[in-house]
Structure 1
Amino acid sequence: MYPKGKVLACTKCSYVLFRTIAGKSLSDNQLKKLLSSKTTPVIKGFRKRDQTTFNAALSLGADGKVSFSKPR
């Protein structure tokens, strides 16, 4: 994976991962953690469409899609 503007792009396939998810820009460390362990710790400051914020962990599915996991 290499940075290419607003995305990380795979050099071996066509997979891309956006740096900004739900209005939150992810740091390089958060992206590395997501790609290496398929999950992140809880990240604060995601934004819903109504502009309210929420905290959630991210997980990377086998299909390459990123999903939220709300903290308990």
Structure 2
Amino acid sequence: MSNQGSTANVIAAVCSFFIPGLGQLVQGRLMSADIHFVMCALLWVIFMGWIVHIWSIWDAARWKPNK
């Protein structure tokens, strides 16, 4: 599987940059993807979505699969 800093995690982080939760979806983490997408969508409405957006990028970049 992928390790932190691997190409797969960089791609996931880039995906989350464009659409929050997409990086988690690419990594096969459906529940996490849903949470990131919904939270960001809701918070963008009140102008705080950039916080969850950055969190989504960071989470995708630092994820380590269970061994």
TM value normalised by structure 1:
0.28
Higher Rg of the two aligned structures: 1
Q: Which has the higher contact order (CA 8 A, sep 6+)?
A: 2
Give the structure with the larger strand fraction: 1
Give the structure with the larger helix fraction: 2
